[in-house]
Amino acid sequence: MASTSSPKRPRVAPAVKAEMGGGGSKLWSEITELARLPTIVSDLGQGYPDFNGDEIARQTASQVLLTQSRLNQYSLVNGTADLRKELAGFYAKRHPEATALNPNTEVLVTSSGTESLYAAIIATVTQGDEVIVFEPSFPWYSPDIRLAGGVVKAVTLKYPDFTIDEKELRAAFSSRTKLVVFNTPHNPTGHVARKWEAELIAKLCVEHDALCLADEVYDQFVFDPAKTGNHIRICDLPGMRERTLVVGSASKMFSLTGWRVGWLYGPEDLIAACRSIHSFASYCAPTPLQDGVRAALAKAAENENAVPKGLQELNTLFAENARRLADALEKSFGVKSSLPEGGYFLVSDVSSTGKTDAEFCSFLARERGVVAVPMTVFYTKEPVPRNLVRFSICKTRPVIDRAVEAILHGPASSKKS
């Protein structure tokens, strides 16, 4: 007897399937493959520092791993009490004019800033809600929004200064706007938001009763405050404390990208919701590493304005790295660059080469041994620019030296990293 079978049901949820290969994962995979070429002398693709992270954090975590059995087990879902207390104290010292955070109800430790973003979006966005993002943007914002059932409303930041277009931003708001994702210093452009930009976003959020997700993982990396002003914390503007979730991360603050320790702070009700999502996703951040971050924060809090040791030197190094790369690209290929005001990255316009961003990145990796990232991955809204390339500048001087030498003279002139 012939058997019959019912149609097969999808094995993967449609919303997830739609994002597979998204969030930059396909591009990151391709860039990773390029970085493995034997002729590569400098990998300036992914934004990770190539030097040891904070020494106090590493020493403390090492001691915990070896000697403190309880701290090698689960922490509380919202993070160790000591780390939450230290985070509240750290921000109180950095922003003494603001109302201090309650470490028990307004601070949440997560398994990375990336998880903080995910938790915040899943906890606040429902089906049909509109979420404003500024593009180019970190490639994980939009997939998180779509997985939550939200609609991405992209506002384009245009090369070379990447400032907000007020008219376009106003037009993006509607009665369905639930959330605005605001990142400064900005990944990938290096733009440091001016006070008027933050005030504009705040005014519109209040007018439309929208929430704000402030991605401030690069808040310590402002290269020239005399030119741009210091980092603007949007939660300190009128009407914003009660509607803003702020993301921070040990990955950037202490150059420990592999530790995956991040945090959120904000209103009690929103933090409680994010805590639930975090508990379902990872339960708690790695406890020994939380204690390492606690120790590093405590040490930083001893300094004026709670500035971690060596931060100014890093800002000087990164700004100089960007300038030297930009000079080499212009000299070799006529490529112009937008020098960053902060953060980890340099953006360059490769129009002069006649190549698209992807073609130029492939050429640069194969012919010069330097890895960079096509900027197309940072956009969702058409028309997508095909002429911009991102370089990571959070590297030691020898790595940048090798990249500059290879860009100018070819990979044979540099030693493999």
Q: Where are the domains of the chain?
A: 24-52+310-413, 55-306
Give the residue-averaged pLDDT of 147-162.
Answer: 98
**Is the model's pLDDT at 98 over the cut of 90?**
yes
* pLDDT at residue 417 greater than cutoff 50: no
Q: Read off the pLDDT band of 32 (50, 70, 90).
A: confident
Is the per-residue pLDDT at 113 higher than 70?
Answer: yes
At 20 the pLDDT is 85
Q: Mean pLDDT, to the nearest integer, of 63-73?
A: 95
Fold of 55-306: Aspartate Aminotransferase; domain 2 (3.40.640)
Q: Enter the pTM of the model.
A: 0.95
Give the per-residue pLDDT at 100: 96
Q: Which CATH architecture has domain 24-52+310-413?
A: Alpha-Beta Complex (3.90)
Asked whether residue 97 carries a pLDDT value surpassing 50, the answer given is yes
What are the tokens at 213?
């997700």
> What is the reported pLDDT for 414?
65
Residue 22: which pLDDT band, with cuts at 50, 70 and 90? low
Query: Is the pLDDT confidence value at 9 over 90?
Result: no
Whether 7 shows a pLDDT value over 90: the answer reads no
For 328-337, what is the mean pLDDT?
Answer: 98
- Of 45-54, 81-90, 149-158, 315-324, which gets the smallest average pLDDT? 45-54
For residues 127-137, give the mean pLDDT. 98
pLDDT in tens, 185-195: 999 999 999 99
What are the tokens at 10?
A: 């999808």
Q: Tell me the average pLDDT across 7-20.
A: 87
Judged by average pLDDT, the poorest of 28-32, 94-98, 104-108, 169-173 is: 28-32
pLDDT on residue 240: 98
State the pLDDT confidence band at 27, using cuts at 50, 70 and 90: low
3-state SS of the chain?
CCCCCCCCCCCCCHHHHHHCCCCCHHHHHHHHHHHCCCCCCEECCCCCCCCCCCHHHHHHHHHHHHHCHHHHCCCCCCCCHHHHHHHHHHHHHHCCCCCCCCCCCCEEEECCHHHHHHHHHHHHCCCCCEEEEEECCCCCHHHHHHHCCCEEEEEECCCCCCCCCHHHHHHHCCCCEEEEEEECCCCCCCCCCCHHHHHHHHHHHHHHCCEEEEECCCCCCECCHHHHCCCCCHHHCCCCHHHEEEEEEHHHHCCCCCCCCEEEECCHHHHHHHHHHHHHHCCCCCHHHHHHHHHHHHHHCCCHHHCCCCHHHHHHHHHHHHHHHHHHHHHHHCCEEECCCECCEEEEECHHHCCCHHHHHHHHHHHHCEECEEHHHHCCCCCCCCCEEEEECCCCHHHHHHHHHHHHHCHHHCCCC
Across the range 348-377, mean pLDDT stands at 95
- For residue range 195-213, list pLDDT tens digits in order: 999 999 999 999 999 999 9
- 169-186 tens-digit pLDDT: 999 999 999 999 999 999
pLDDT, position 416: 46
**What pLDDT digit, counting tens, does each position of 224-264 carry?**
999 999 999 999 999 999 999 999 999 999 999 999 999 99
90 pLDDT more than 70? yes
Average pLDDT, the chain: 94
Mean pLDDT of the 6-21 span: 85
